[in-house]
Amino acid sequence: MKALALADLINIQSGFAFKSNEYTPNGHFLVRIGNVQDGFLSLENPKFVALTDRTERFALAEGDFLTSLTGNIGRVARVEQDHLPAALNQRVARLTVNDPSALDKDYFYYFLTSDLFREELSEVGHGAAQQNVSPLAIGRLTIPLAPLAEQRRIVGILDEAFEGIATAKANTEKNLQNARALFESHLQSVFTQRGEGWVEKRLGDVCEVKDGTHDSPKYVEDGIPFVTQKNIREDGLSFAKTKFISQEDHNNFYRRSNVAQGDILISMIGANRGMACLVDSERLFSIKNVGLIKRNDSVDLQFLLYFLKSPQAASFVKGASKGGAQEFVGLTELRKFPVPLPTSERQYTLASLFQSLREETQRLESIYQRKLAALDDLKKSLLHQAFSGEL
């Protein structure tokens, strides 16, 4: 293989700076930098423009390769028929092969999706907070070029291998979904087929239910973590990207919501409202837009936590939500939350069963996630071999 400059093999065109006041209800789908993702064009939040004689040359065609020039540079996607008619916006470049007898289009696309291209691009990118790369810099990059027949042989090998990888990934992702669905299905069956000895009570009647502050304190560089609904995750409480408040503010907020180890937190606002987690450490923190369910001796909070994760609980949260752009569940509604309760002994037994099933589900999820990562690594390895003359 010999390395040739891309400028000798392809045409590179950067997009036009369409202004937002030029957007139209329909017309050409405007491919902006956010639409260019790794391996596909996203159709989320589409914008449209009407092309004129001045901008007609920015119309895209099926098979065009696009790459991002700003931020996460080097994302590559191919224009498909379903995307058309489409137009090229600024900070996105169109890459087209100018001599198919020298460079196979599919070989070139595989090169664009390889780590080799991303690494070369990163070296010529500039900017600290946000990287940028110019079309001229892309043209100076080199591609390992084999004779056309050899390029097509490599493409054939990669096509076959990647088809198998795609099938394996689809099956693994399906297994991953099934593992998660199994746990939810078990929760649903327990809470819908309750049997004798169950009673339904309001959450506020069996537990002390509070909420966090509604104030917005000044943040400090180092202090007490200030937990919001964004910190409540499916797998527990996360302190990642937490902001901090002063000890004085924390002391004021703590009088309202004295969070302690063993309590339950539940998000009350936003897309993850209803998501709940157990406080599993003694770390001090304050809360905002978060409900607090205090531990007590009358209810097994592990059992209650799993109920809050059930489809029945999610349905109640949806029905009790208010608001427009950002829906929320108020403290009054949270206290009215209907909770099905068996005997204390049964609560403990079910909580233990739920925990065992959850651990097994997490074990399976971990296996499937590792398999997905291994398939991605295999794909990268094959691309590396393809452009280092090892296939």
pTM, entire model? 0.75
Query: Are both 64 and 172 inside the same structural domain?
Result: no
pLDDT in tens, 200-244: 999 999 999 999 998 889 999 999 999 999 999 988 899 988 999
Percent with pLDDT over 70 in the chain = 99
Query: Are both 55 and 133 inside the same structural domain?
Result: yes
The number of distinct structural domains making up the chain is 3
pLDDT in tens, 153-172: 999 999 999 999 999 999 99
**What span, in angstroms and rounded, lies between the C-alpha atoms of 53 and 273?**
50
Q: Which residues contact 51 (CB under 8 A, 6 or more apart)?
A: 27, 28, 58, 59, 87
Query: Are both 96 and 43 inside the same structural domain?
Result: yes
Of 130 and 322, the one with more pLDDT: 322
Query: Are both 156 and 120 inside the same structural domain?
Result: no
The number of residues in the chain equals 391
Query: Are both 255 and 346 inside the same structural domain?
Result: no
Query: Are both 124 and 183 inside the same structural domain?
Result: no
Q: Is the pLDDT of residue 352 over 70?
A: yes
pLDDT score of 56? 94
Domain that holds residue 94: 2-145
**What span, in angstroms and rounded, lies between the C-alpha atoms of 4 and 107?**
14
Token output for 182: 């199994």
Query: Are both 231 and 166 inside the same structural domain?
Result: no
Query: Are both 295 and 352 inside the same structural domain?
Result: no
Cβ of 62: how many Cβ atoms within 10 Å?
A: 12
Mean pLDDT of the chain: 91
Query: Are both 218 and 277 inside the same structural domain?
Result: yes
pLDDT score of 129? 64
CATH number of the domain that residue 98 is part of: 3.90.220.20
Of 326 and 203, the one with more pLDDT: 203
SS3 96: strand
Which of 130, 145, 160 terminates a domain? The answer is 145
Query: Are both 21 and 81 inside the same structural domain?
Result: yes
Query: Are both 252 and 164 inside the same structural domain?
Result: no
Query: Are both 304 and 332 inside the same structural domain?
Result: yes
